[in-house]
Amino acid sequence: MTVTDQPSTAAADAVEPPGNTGTPGVRRRRRREYLLFLAFIAPNAVLLAVFAYWPIVFNGYLSLTSWDMLSPTIPFVGLANYADMFSDPDFWAVLGRTVLFSGAVVIGCLIVGLAVAMLLNQKLVGRNLVRTVSFAPHILSGVAMGTVWLFIFDPQIGLMKVVLEKVGIAGPAWMTDSSWAMWGLVLVYLWKNIGFVAVVYMAGLQGLPTDLYEAARLDGAGPWTLFRRITLPLLSPVTFFVTVVTIVGTFQAFDVIAIMTNGGPGDATTTISWYIYKQAFQALDAGHAGAGALVMFVILIAITAAQARFMERRVHYR
Amino acid sequence: MKPLTTTLKYVGLIVVLVCAFIPIYWLLTTSVTSPDKIFQFQWFPTSIEWKNYVDGWASAPFATLYKNSVIVTLAGALIQVCVAVLSSYAFAFLRFPAKNLVFMVFLGAMMVPGTVVLMPNFLTIAALGWVNTYAGIIVPGVGSVFAMFLLRQHMLTLPNEVTEAAKVDGASHLRVLWNVVLPMSRPMVVTVIVVALVEKWNDFVWPLVSTSTDSMRTLPVGMMMIQDSEGFTNWGAVMASAVFIVVPVLVVFFIAQRQIIAGLTAGATKG
């Protein structure tokens, strides 16, 4: 085990509350407990400090430089990268694409996910099997399944073309068509996430108070009114949670994009995560990669904070 | 009226099942379809062509990819869960001034997106001389917030007398952790282990940027190598390669689906 890593006693003394009472024995035991606490959290603390918190600081600094990640000196350029990015229509296009992609996946997941959840919430034979199978796409490798979808979307021999032809539609070239590639990705992400969203909604549905429905039904409310006036409002914390999780996930979408489009054709599927990757590891432009990453970070923090505030308000309502 | 709505519900159920399952089905059937039959569309394979698996295996250094994926997944998940267990025990059972504040600082790391830390972490492992090593692939991913959180929540529900009694007996905290708390937290420990295994196995972007030679690549990165080197033309063999990546996770999922689903959706109900 990892208890070898002994923090200094000075640190423990510093945190000892002043005016300590108790016998020397009690105090010694307490101090040993503090030390043990530090030893137990030390591995995780070091890892999170080095690989989660420090990168934020380091990234912020790099965003103020113009560096090719190779040369020994790192030229400081102030806010030039930001000025550059925000005056570049291509970067705004990246942001717009990300919002479109994320929004489409979120809306699709919420609507279809809730519908599937309500269906699976009925007493139907085989619903557990359907629940399990529809969750499966969520845990399969995005690279492997992206490859399968690439084959499904193949304009010559793909399954999608055959199915669409059966209903009399001449399908697009999907991933090689710059106006359709994004919608192909949206479809893949819906497929990957709807089962997950449905399971989360099911947990929410099972927690709804049945007496409220009975009372409303006695008052003559129909199924649509019940849904709109009771189910939807009471599920709003779940909806908020799913929205935030899906936004965070789609902003970071990478593996499926990497295998299916490489951000293309042209820039048609270059979302913010692909943009950051490209700047850092293909263009070796640490400054723009850092600035792009910080913009993404700020957006995601703002969205998460909004959810946290919403949840707090809900607690006060009850 | 009543039988009709029931029928409609079952139709809906079948539609959901088919939509979710078709890509997986298509992966499996295409992987056993011979190259000349791929161009003639068929719902069900008329014959089974195992040669795709031989060709798929030869299209990339799969033996090495497998070895690396297994090492990175097992070591990564094991270390991560050990780290999580130790810190969750500390937060649940040990006294420390301003413990909740420290816990909040730990939880805050959950808000840090992987994409944002990608480049800085690459530079960090480069400074440590860890590029293209197992340490470089594994270590940045073993810090744990979510698993620690789930374990702590579970430990807080354990009856207090258990740990009190153990301590009165003069047992050290390590022994209490190992002999009492861990056995009583088994369902949650299993949950965080399988979730960690699945996540490490599927991880793509970090192994991609932290490795530079074929000898260190993992399976998902190998898939990308096939595409870069020969393109996806021999679809049967390509699908067989994808099966190599997907099947272990499918097997684990159908054994431990309850734990995986519970672990991955836990944030929703407890947040």
Q: How many CB pairs under 8 A join A and B?
A: 292
Residue B103 touches partner A, C-beta closer than 8 Å? no
Residue numbers of B between 10 and 49 with CB closer than 8 Å to A: 10, 12-13, 16-17, 19-24, 26-27, 30, 38-39, 41
pLDDT given at position A3 = 36
Q: Distance (Å) from the C-alpha of residue B114 to the closest C-alpha of chain A? A: 8
C-beta of residue A41 within 8 angstroms of C-beta of residue B86: yes
pLDDT of A318 strictly over 60: no
pLDDT of A28 strictly over 90: no
Please judge whether A143 and B204 are an interchain contact, meaning their C-beta atoms are less than 8 angstroms apart: yes
Could you tell me which residue, A154 or A2, shows the higher pLDDT?
A154
What residues have CB less than 8 Å from A154, skipping those under 6 apart? A161, B235
Residue A41 touches partner B, C-beta closer than 8 Å? yes
Q: Which residues of A touch B113 (CB under 8 A)?
A: 248, 251-252, 296-297, 300
Low-confidence winner among A153-157, B3-7, B66-70, B166-170 (lowest mean pLDDT)? B166-170
Q: Distance (Å) from the C-alpha of residue B242 to the closest C-alpha of chain A? A: 5
Please judge whether A43 and B239 are an interchain contact, meaning their C-beta atoms are less than 8 angstroms apart: no
Cis check for the bond before A265: say yes or no (omega within 30 of 0).
yes
Confidence of residue A11 (pLDDT cuts 50, 70, 90): very low
Please judge whether A238 and B268 are an interchain contact, meaning their C-beta atoms are less than 8 angstroms apart: yes
Please judge whether A116 and B265 are an interchain contact, meaning their C-beta atoms are less than 8 angstroms apart: no
Three state DSSP letters for chain A:
CCCCCCCCHHHHHHHCCCCCCCCHHHHHHHHHHHHHHHHHHHHHHHHHHHHHHHHHHHHHHHCCECCCCCCCCCCECCCHHHHHHHCCHHHHHHHHHHHHHHHHHHHHHHHHHHHHHHHHCCCCCCHHHHHHHHHHHHHCCHHHHHHHHHHHCCCCCCHHHHHHHHCCCCCCCHHHCCCCHHHHHHHHHHHHHHHHHHHHHHHHHHCCCHHHHHHHHHCCCCHHHHHHHHHHHHCHHHHHHHHHHHHHHHHCCCHHHHHHCCCCCCCCCCCHHHHHHHHHHHCCCHHHHHHHHHHHHHHHHHHHHHHHHHHHHHHHHC
pLDDT of A9 strictly over 50: no
Helix (H, G, I), strand (E, B) or coil at B171: coil
Q: Distance (Å) from the C-alpha of residue A56 to the closest C-alpha of chain B? A: 7
10 Å Cβ neighbour count for A301? 13
Q: Distance (Å) from the C-alpha of residue B86 to the closest C-alpha of chain A? A: 5
What residues have CB less than 8 Å from B147, skipping those under 6 apart? B80, B81, B84, B88, B192, B195, B196
Residues A137 and A131: their CA atoms lie apart, in Å, by 11
Which token pair is B115? 């994409």
Residue A301 touches partner B, C-beta closer than 8 Å? yes
Helix (H, G, I), strand (E, B) or coil at B163: helix
Residue B158 touches partner A, C-beta closer than 8 Å? no
- Stretch A62-80: mean pLDDT: 93
Closest by alpha carbon to A255, among A145, A102, A175?
Answer: A145
Which token pair is B60? 């990339």
Residues B271 and B265: their CA atoms lie apart, in Å, by 10
Q: Which residues of A touch B246 (CB under 8 A)?
A: 140-141, 144-145
Report the complex ipTM.
0.92
pLDDT digits (tens, 9 = 90+) for B1-54: 467 889 999 999 999 999 999 999 999 999 999 888 887 778 888 888 899 999
pLDDT of B147 strictly over 90: yes
pLDDT digits (tens, 9 = 90+) for A76-108: 999 999 999 999 999 999 999 999 999 999 999
Residue B21 CA from chain centroid, whole number? 20
Among chain A residues, CA nearest to B225 = A259
Q: Work out whether the CA dihedral B146, B150, B153, B156 comes out positive or negative.
A: negative
Residue from A70, A102, A148, A243 to probe the interface with B (highest B Cβ count within 10 Å): A148
Residue A76 bridge partners (DSSP): A65
Please judge whether B97 and A17 are an interchain contact, meaning their C-beta atoms are less than 8 angstroms apart: yes
Which token pair is B131? 């590029």
Residues A247 and A104: their CA atoms lie apart, in Å, by 10
Confidence of residue B269 (pLDDT cuts 50, 70, 90): low
**Average of per-residue pLDDT values in chain B:** 91
pLDDT digits (tens, 9 = 90+) for B194-212: 999 999 999 999 999 999 9
pLDDT given at position A246 = 95
pLDDT of A194 strictly over 90: yes
pLDDT of A315 strictly over 70: no
Please judge whether B27 and A145 are an interchain contact, meaning their C-beta atoms are less than 8 angstroms apart: yes
Work out the percent of chain A whose per-residue pLDDT is above 70.
92
* Predicted TM-score (pTM) of this structure: 0.91
pLDDT of A232 strictly over 90: yes
pLDDT of A317 strictly over 60: no
Of A15, A48, A151, nearest to B143 by CB-CB distance is: A48
Residues A267 and A158: their CA atoms lie apart, in Å, by 24
CA atoms within 13 A of residue A1's CA, in its CB half-sphere: 17
Confidence of residue A10 (pLDDT cuts 50, 70, 90): very low
pLDDT given at position A12 = 39
The pair phi, psi for residue B168, each rounded to 5°, is -60, -35
Which token pair is B103? 């816990």
pLDDT of A205 strictly over 70: yes
Instruction: Please give the radius of gyration of chain B, using alpha carbons only, rounded to the nearest integer.
Output: 23
Residue from B7, B80, B83, B116 to probe the interface with A (highest A Cβ count within 10 Å): B116
Please judge whether B198 and A139 are an interchain contact, meaning their C-beta atoms are less than 8 angstroms apart: yes
Please judge whether A293 and B205 are an interchain contact, meaning their C-beta atoms are less than 8 angstroms apart: no
Torsion of CA B264, B265, B266, B271, to 10 degrees: 120
Closest by alpha carbon to A144, among A94, A188, A97, A201?
Answer: A188
pLDDT of A204 strictly over 80: yes
Please judge whether B119 and A297 are an interchain contact, meaning their C-beta atoms are less than 8 angstroms apart: no
Q: Which residue has the tokens 């009583």?
A: B184
